[in-house]
Amino acid sequence: MQIDVFTLVPHAFAWLTEQRPVATVLGRELDLQLFGYRDTTPLANGQVDDAPYGGGAGMVLRVDVAAAALDAVYGGVPDHRVIALTPQGRQLDQSVVAELAGEERVTLLSARFEGFDERVVTHLCSDAISVGPYVLSNGDLPAMIVLDAVARRLPGALAEGSGELESFSAELGGGLEYPHYTRPADFNGWPVPDVLLSGDHARVDAWRREQVR
Ligand SMILES: C[S@@+](CC[C@H](N)C(=O)[O-])C[C@H]1O[C@@H](n2cnc3c(N)ncnc32)[C@H](O)[C@@H]1O
């Protein structure tokens, strides 16, 4: 799968590319390309945003800047999914993640300040995704959330089996995962449930399924 991210700060993604599971699949199942709007802006002095028509606070990412960025990489609007990251988008959940992980190529557009000129969303993008009903300062964390969540779904990203029995998985009926415990078996009088120390795999399995919410 290829994921292209358009951002004002490509270097912000360095940390993520060193972390598993993204690091594990990079260069294998995942090809990640980062593009900076400033590198292709048609405006002077690296300008990428402008004051909003109608007045008001904040700056808006210009449509000509986003179009030039897409043009430079794809020679126009590509035919794969181009997704604006915006609070107004469809909310990300595990089914959206699975859908994205099934794509061959996806482009993510990040904005900042007041966000995108609406024509970026309506004319340059195929769809829009929100990572939740709250406002972040820019689209880079949302892009990283999408990247991490999608990378986990790619072959070889996780240790065998560890992605199958987790929260929101079909295996758990879409529910939340059961609790985990590790040593010590008793800390401060807070014991681990006896069943987990029993060595009886059938009982452990039954207990875990009861705990799924
Ligand atoms: C400060 S936000 C803009 C908020 C916008 N003025 C509003 O009130 O909806 C700047 C940028 O951060 C990104 N962003 C912020 N919150 C987001 C969220 N919940 N999901 C996806 N992207 C988000 C988007 O790219 C957005 O354009």
pLDDT tens-digit series, residues 149-177: 999 999 999 987 677 789 998 889 999 99
Q: Which residues contact 82 (CB under 8 A, 6 or more apart)?
A: 70, 107, 109, 124, 125, 126
How confident is the model over 113-154, as pLDDT tens digits? Answer: 999 999 999 999 999 999 999 999 999 999 999 999 999 999
Per-residue model confidence (pLDDT) at position 113? 94
How confident is the model over 46-58, as pLDDT tens digits? Answer: 999 999 999 999 9
Is the pLDDT score of 6 beyond 80?
yes
Q: Measured from the CB, is residue 131 less than 6 Å from ligand 1?
A: yes
Is the pLDDT score of 5 beyond 80?
yes
Per-residue model confidence (pLDDT) at position 159? 83
Per-residue model confidence (pLDDT) at position 160? 74
Q: Measured from the CB, is residue 115 less than 6 Å from ligand 1?
A: yes
Per-residue model confidence (pLDDT) at position 78? 96
Per-residue model confidence (pLDDT) at position 194? 98
Query: Contact 67/40 with Cβ under 8 angstroms?
Result: no
Mean pLDDT of the chain: 96
Q: 66 CA distance to ligand 1 centroid (A)? A: 16
Which residue owns the Cα nearest ligand 1 atom 19? 87
Mutate to test the pocket of ligand 1, among 48, 119, 135, 145 (most ligand atoms within 8 A of CB): 135
CA-138 nearest atom, ligand 1 = 12
Q: What percent of the chain has pLDDT over 90?
A: 94
**Residue 132 half-sphere exposure, CB side, CA atoms within 13 Å?**
9
Is the pLDDT score of 184 beyond 90?
yes
Could you tell me which of 23, 30, 29 has the C-alpha nearest to residue 5?
Answer: 30
CA-135 nearest atom, ligand 1 = 16
Query: Contact 211/179 with Cβ under 8 angstroms?
Result: yes
Query: Contact 127/96 with Cβ under 8 angstroms?
Result: no
Which residue owns the Cα nearest ligand 1 atom 13? 139
Is the pLDDT score of 34 beyond 80?
yes
Per-residue model confidence (pLDDT) at position 28? 96
Per-residue model confidence (pLDDT) at position 23? 95
Is the pLDDT score of 32 beyond 80?
yes
